[in-house]
Structure formats: C-alpha cells, structure tokens
Amino acid sequence: MKKNQDKAGVKEIARRAKVSIATVDRVIHNRSGVSAKTKEKINAIIREMNYQPNVLAQRLALASRGLIRLAVLLPVISEETEFWQAPLDGVNKAEGEIRQYGIHIERFFFDQNDQQSFARQVKRIEQYKPEGLMFSPTFADDSIQLIRFCEQEEIPYVLINSDIPGFDRQCYIGPELFHSGYLAAQLIHYCIADDQKVLLVNIAQEIDSNHAILRKEEGFRQYYKDYIPKGAILPFNTTQTDYASVAQKLEKLMRQETGIGAIFVTNSRVSLVASWLEKQGMKDILLIGYDFLKDNVDWLKKGMIDFLICEKPQEQGYRGVMTLFQNLVYSATIEKEYLMPIDIITKENYLFYRN
C-alpha cells in the first residue's frame, strides 16, 4: 500500500503548524477567529506544500449541509419548440451529477408565444425563492423584473441562449449571435456568385422584439457590407409560423423575383422552407438555417438544407447549472461570459455531431 502522495492534507498542515485541523480549516477558508500570527504561519506552510484541497472530501463533507435549491426557467417543449429539449437535457445531466452534493433543481416552464405565462412563472419563482436561478430571457420586461428580484434577494442568476445587456448576471452562456449571422453570410459568399441574390428569412411570432433574430440579421448584413457591398439581400418576414402561411408568402415572392441563389433562415424554422423548396423542385438554391433538430437533420440528409448552424444547446443548459453549482458551493469565480462555439453542420459531418 503506497500512499497517494507523501502526506499533503489538512492533517499534515496542522501537524507542521502545531495547531488543530479546525484552525487550518479556518485559515484555508479565510474565516475569522484566528490570530494573525498563526494565520501567517499556516499560510506559509500551505504555500510551501503547495497544498491542494481534496475536492472529493470537501464535497462529501458538504453533503451534510443540506439542500441547495436551484430554479430553472425555460420554454415548455412542444413540437414547435423542440429546440428547448436540448437545454433541458443538459439540465437533467447536470442534475444527475450534482444531486449527490445536495442540489435540488426545480423546473419552471412558460409558453414562448404567451408573455403572460412567462410573467406567471416569474411570480412562482419569486415565491419559491431559490438560491440560484438559470433562465432564458425571452420576454425582456418580465426578465428584467426577475433580474431585479434576484439582485434584491442576492440570488445569483445565469442567462442562457440570449443575453440582456446592462445587468450584472453571474454569467451569460450562449452564442455570440452577431458572429453567427456573420458566419452564415460567409458560407453563402463561398457558395453563390456575387450577382445572385440572397433571401433573408425571419419566421417568428414576434420579430421586432426578438433579440436573437435581430442580432443574427445584423451580423449577416454587416458581412455583406464588409465583403459584398453590391450583393442583394431580399428581406422576408412572417409572423405566421405555420407551413401554409409560409408557403403562400414564399410562392408570391418567388413569382416576382429571379436570381435567388441562397436562402438564410434566421432560426430553426428552416425546415418549413426546405419543405416548400422540395415541393417546387428547387434543389439548386443554397439553404442555411439553425439548430440540430430531427426535421432539420432530415432535410440535411436529403440535400435540401445545405448548412445548419448550431450552438450546442445541451451544453448551454448543462453549463448553466454547473456554473451556479460552482458558484454556490465553492464560491468559485465565474467568467462573465461563456460563448458557445458556432458549429457548421453538413450532410457529411452531422453523423458525428454532439450537441
């Protein structure tokens, strides 16, 4: 039986400093109630030994402290919002890993098409008074109210998927939306001739207040300014998100326009466009959209969608929870921003993609 490394724990520090381990613990955690002299002596020994606490033992001991209650607020998952399954999967995965450290996660859901439902959940969370909160700030006003509540109660909160500028959140975890749109334009630039037009498609119930869509569009247009100033961008907005409406509008537009080489859909609704294009037999138009959803991947396989841009939604949920955990349990310092990679998925690499 060899020892792990020749003696390097609180016990050894205590022995060398000729104090008890309780005192060592106080110094390690910078707690009050230790004379300056012993404190200095112990710190010197810690430095000398290059002491690293055993995280295992720390956590195990902490397990006796009782529950920490975390709250998570996300859009409810429906057929239309399948995207949100992934962040929720991430939350579940995180919960599996930290449950044994006494973390409980309470989930709150709202309807993305119903601002009232968001407001109701905000109320419920305020009553629940969690010790940490992660949410996706879909509706700005109510989100700000929730943020105010957190700041007043000193509850750390983490934003995922899209950010709200101007508040001191623990951390934002999600994509850099501007670059994401910028990248889409770059891909299109590679694939179509400069004299071909591009259709910029927004399909969402609320476009003007949808920060994510607007930012991506900005990035997209900026790329055009930077590299293809003469390129033509045709806008296409619809707040009716069902297939029939989208198809009808597309039909009308496409009758009037010629020379469209590519279509960029600013969110995961790209499958609607793919479906329409297939019915028209328009296989040659380059189609780019968002998110690794089953429908979208199917269109990718068929060659109707050319590129999907993805930002690891599962990891966003996972990392959001883990960040709160790190912060609450270990008082770890947290980066203010964790920007997700912007992944490019095609027919030939989707098989190996991991959310």
Partner DNA sequence: CTGAAAGCGCTTACAG
Partner from DNA, a second copy, none binding residue 37, C-beta < 5-8 Å depending on class? DNA
Partner from a second copy, DNA, none binding residue 179, C-beta < 5-8 Å depending on class? a second copy
Binders of DNA among residues 127 to 146 (CB under 7 A) are: none
Number of DSSP helices (H) and strands (E) in the chain, helices first: 13, 12
Measured from the CB atom, the residue of 26 and 319 that comes closer to DNA is: 26
What the block records as the tokens of 12 is: 């050894």
Beta bridge partners of residue 73, listed in sequence order: 108, 135
CA atoms within 13 A of residue 9's CA, in its CB half-sphere: 12
Contact between 161 and 313 (Cβ < 8 Å)? yes
Is position 67 an interface residue for DNA (rule: CB under 7 A)?
no
Is position 284 an interface residue for a second copy (rule: CB under 8 A)?
no
Q: Which of 22, 44, 57, 140 binds a second copy (CB under 8 A)?
A: 57
Task: Look at the block and give the residue holding tokens 């002491």.
Answer: 51
For residue 342, CA distances in Å to 81, 88, 126, 198, 302 come to 20, 20, 34, 21, 23
Least Å distance, CB 65 to DNA, is 5
Least Å distance, CB 248 to a second copy, is 30
Q: Which of 176, 217, 291, 295 binds a second copy (CB under 8 A)?
A: 176
Is position 98 an interface residue for DNA (rule: CB under 7 A)?
no
Contact residues for 174 (Cβ-Cβ < 8 A; gap 6+): 159, 160, 161, 162, 163, 311, 316, 339, 340
Which span (63-71, 137-145, 267-275, 322-330) binds a second copy, by CB under 8 A?
63-71
Which span (100-108, 147-155, 158-166, 273-281) binds a second copy, by CB under 8 A?
100-108
Q: Which of 30, 64, 152, 258 binds DNA (CB under 7 A)?
A: 64
Contact between 261 and 193 (Cβ < 8 Å)? yes
What the block records as the tokens of 148 is: 């105010």
Contact between 133 and 171 (Cβ < 8 Å)? no
Measured from the CB atom, the residue of 65 and 301 that comes closer to DNA is: 65
| H-type alpha helices, the chain | 10-17, 21-28, 36-49, 55-62, 85-98, 115-128, 140-153, 177-191, 211-227, 243-256, 270-280, 294-302, 313-330
Q: CA 158, 313, 112: angle at the middle one, nearest 5?
A: 75
Is position 182 an interface residue for a second copy (rule: CB under 8 A)?
yes
Q: Which helix (H) or strand (E) holds 236?
A: strand 233-238
Binders of DNA among residues 3 to 62 (CB under 7 A) are: 4, 9-11, 18-23, 25-26, 28-29, 32-39, 51, 53-54, 56-58, 60-62
Measured from the CB atom, the residue of 97 and 251 that comes closer to a second copy is: 97
Which span (84-92, 99-107, 129-137, 294-302) binds a second copy, by CB under 8 A?
99-107
Residues that bind a second copy (CB under 8 A): 1-4, 52, 54-57, 59-60, 63-67, 100-102, 175-176, 179, 182-183, 186-187, 190-191, 223, 286, 306, 339-344, 346-349, 351-354
Residues that bind DNA (CB under 7 A): 1, 4, 9-11, 18-23, 25-26, 28-29, 32-39, 51, 53-54, 56-58, 60-65
